A and B are shown apart, each in its own frame.
Chain A
């Protein structure tokens, strides 16, 4: 069996890598939670790249229904074709369009399926997928056909914890919470994006960044991706390491809320 490891573009902690491998070994969906900007979505891309498997992304929105992931019966097209006398109208299967989940099941090779931000959808959404994710098959009533996964896809599900997910759904998943990276791991992550970053600059930026995160009353803690943007801005602006703490250049990249900005400026940083 193939194992997932950190790639040159994605730095994963030991536990995260283990969780991917365990989910694959036990053939269960992997549910990933964590602060925004800790790379939940990128994980699936990294897994697909590392294992050389195709990635299918199902982006969930507040209006998404479970059915859309399986298949859609395009009745309007059929009616339209019927009125203009197109051929093959009596072949219903022509009007069945597979959704993302259906596509993953139907694929000839094993794929990585990312169900992104599952908590955006309606409360009942995960429950509607229980059978499909368990058995990896579903039934199309219109054509009386069952679509069964040829190769069980590697399912990665991300959640921002906006809604509680139902217990029945959780029981079927492997769960991993991505901790916010510590300084060591963070330095590695930044270097993946900017390999030539100057050591002093990076250290000064990271110290300030972690201090901002540690301010007690801060409303929105800055995330990894914001630090990466900030380091980039500092590099492009030609800022020296000494100026970072005293002048806080481009701090708007890291701190986004007015109240927070005031807190930081009012000397939350000493």
Chain B
């Protein structure tokens, strides 16, 4: 049942498993969905989707598969405009409603109402408000908006009740998608992925394992048995190299958040943070202002920060070609006789793990952005979003390339 729905969900990138899908069948068997599409929407979402960041994908797949079901009550755009009278809501007093309901027979037989509704949809050709036959607002027929009849079909207008397609259509979970640009909190979470406990590393067991010592002692009937363990500390060393060139100004608050969250995640063994202007040359600046003289030599950094540092370069990789390829292209200061591209190659050679985060990366290959393409060839480049940062963290933590 609904196999196309299953396939469509997977095509949209939701990792729905067979087990979960069988659970849904089970729920259907038990009659948990009633016979309503809206119920089915919620039940399916609860069982198949496990994160609010994926609600949007689910909504899209659902719309694709069950569009035909919505068709039953599809209404012309013109008619929806006639009906959208939410500003008149205050006029629709409780009293008026009560009065209307007294005079109108309740039409709650759904099939009957729908049949008449379709019939009238075909016949109607102008706007109606307050009447007792045509579809319109404030009326007492079973169709339309702001009306007094409780058993009828509501058409358009501001909705309080969350039917499946009003939710799907609104795409209100779009903001939860994890491929949008992120905030500080999410940065911090992503950085938590970056940990490698020294308990997993090849180092001596130098700490007393109290729990296991007690256990062992007791198991030996009180004869002391000492158990040692490897100290459990995060062994990750992190180096952040950030572009603070002119083209990065629009992203300054984003970079500030990134910097803050690295500083707040104080569980690294060491964090180094330097800045560069458009491209890396033989000096790296200590402050984002990139003042002349307030720097360290890049060579010094290579000597003092060993190859185990995990390097994150943040920049838009929008250097002018001469900034990247000319030996004298750095107008901010000396470049040690090497072009920016050569310096980047040195970084790549020296460090085992380097990733590049780009706040405005072009998707796929972008031949018109020459510098970006060149940098992409050197380093794995990710867009500075939740999803991108997570991928970058996986790359940094993956075993040696």
29 contacts between A and B (CB under 8 A): A15-B42, A15-B162, A18-B42, A19-B42, A22-B32, A22-B46, A22-B47, A25-B32, A26-B26, A26-B27, A26-B32, A28-B23, A33-B51, A75-B218, A76-B218, A82-B222, A163-B189, A164-B189, A165-B50, A167-B15, A170-B50, A170-B51, A171-B20, A173-B50, A174-B47, A175-B49, A175-B51, A177-B52, A177-B55
* Separation of A90 and B264 alpha carbons in the complex (Å): 51
Q: Known contacts being A18-B39, A19-B46, A22-B43, is A171 close to B17, with CB within 8 Å?
A: yes
Q: Are A78 and B218 in contact (CB under 8 A)?
A: yes
Among the interface residues A28, A76, A171, A184, which one has the most CB atoms of the partner chain B within 10 A?
A171
Given known contacts A173-B50, A175-B49, what 11 new A-B pairs fall within 8 Å (CB)? A14-B162, A18-B43, A28-B23, A31-B50, A75-B218, A163-B189, A163-B192, A165-B50, A171-B19, A175-B50, A175-B51
- In B43-65, which residues have CB < 8 Å from any A CB? 43, 46-47, 49-52, 55
Q: Within 8 Å of chain B (Cβ to Cβ): is A79? A: yes
* Separation of A33 and B51 alpha carbons in the complex (Å): 8
* Separation of A176 and B46 alpha carbons in the complex (Å): 6
Q: Are A79 and B218 in contact (CB under 8 A)?
A: yes
With both beta carbons as reference points, the residue of chain B lying nearest to A183 in the complex is identified as B160
Q: Within 8 Å of chain B (Cβ to Cβ): is A162? A: yes
State which of B15, B20, B42, B222 has its C-beta within 8 Å of the C-beta of A79.
B222
Q: Are B218 and A171 in contact (CB under 8 A)?
A: no
- What residues make up the interface of B, taking CB atoms closer than 8 Å to A? 15, 17, 19-20, 23, 26-27, 30, 32, 39, 42-43, 46-47, 49-52, 55, 160, 162, 189, 192, 214-215, 217-219, 221-222
* Separation of A21 and B23 alpha carbons in the complex (Å): 14
Where chain B touches its partner, the secondary structure class is helix
- What residues make up the interface of A, taking CB atoms closer than 8 Å to B? 14-15, 18-19, 21-22, 25-26, 28, 31, 33, 75-76, 78-79, 82-83, 162-165, 167, 170-171, 173-177, 182, 184
Residues in chain A near residue B15, CB distance under 8 A: 167
* Separation of A78 and B222 alpha carbons in the complex (Å): 10
Residues in chain A near residue B19, CB distance under 8 A: 171
Residues in chain B near residue A18, CB distance under 8 A: 39, 42-43, 46
Residues in chain B near residue A171, CB distance under 8 A: 17, 19-20, 50
* Separation of A31 and B51 alpha carbons in the complex (Å): 10
* Separation of A40 and B93 alpha carbons in the complex (Å): 36
Among the interface residues A18, A28, A31, A82, which one has the most CB atoms of the partner chain B within 10 A?
A18
With both beta carbons as reference points, the residue of chain B lying nearest to A174 in the complex is identified as B46
Residues in chain A near residue B17, CB distance under 8 A: 171
Residues in chain A near residue B43, CB distance under 8 A: 18, 22
Residues in chain A near residue B39, CB distance under 8 A: 18
* Separation of A26 and B32 alpha carbons in the complex (Å): 10
Per CB-CB distance, the 6 closest pairs between chain A and chain B, nearest first, are A75-B218, A170-B50, A177-B52, A175-B50, A79-B218, A174-B46
Among the interface residues B19, B20, B26, B218, which one has the most CB atoms of the partner chain A within 10 A?
B218
Q: Known contacts being A170-B50, A175-B46, is A76 close to B27, with CB within 8 Å?
A: no
Q: Are A82 and B221 in contact (CB under 8 A)?
A: yes
State which of A31, A75, A162, A163 has its C-beta within 8 Å of the C-beta of B215.
A75
* Separation of A14 and B42 alpha carbons in the complex (Å): 10
Residues in chain A near residue B27, CB distance under 8 A: 22, 25-26
Q: Are B23 and A26 in contact (CB under 8 A)?
A: yes
* Separation of A55 and B222 alpha carbons in the complex (Å): 39
Residues in chain A near residue B217, CB distance under 8 A: 79
Residues in chain A near residue B51, CB distance under 8 A: 33, 170, 175
With both beta carbons as reference points, the residue of chain A lying nearest to B20 in the complex is identified as A171
Residues in chain B near residue A175, CB distance under 8 A: 46-47, 49-51
Residues in chain B near residue A176, CB distance under 8 A: 46
* Separation of A26 and B33 alpha carbons in the complex (Å): 13
Residues in chain A near residue B26, CB distance under 8 A: 26
Residues in chain A near residue B42, CB distance under 8 A: 15, 18-19
With both beta carbons as reference points, the residue of chain A lying nearest to B215 in the complex is identified as A75
With both beta carbons as reference points, the residue of chain A lying nearest to B19 in the complex is identified as A171
Question: Nearest-CB distance from A19 to chain B (Å)?
Answer: 5
* Separation of A190 and B266 alpha carbons in the complex (Å): 40
State which of A83, A163, A174 has its C-beta within 8 Å of the C-beta of B222.
A83
With both beta carbons as reference points, the residue of chain B lying nearest to A34 in the complex is identified as B52
Residues in chain B near residue A177, CB distance under 8 A: 52, 55
* Separation of A82 and B221 alpha carbons in the complex (Å): 9
Question: Nearest-CB distance from A218 to chain B (Å)?
Answer: 11
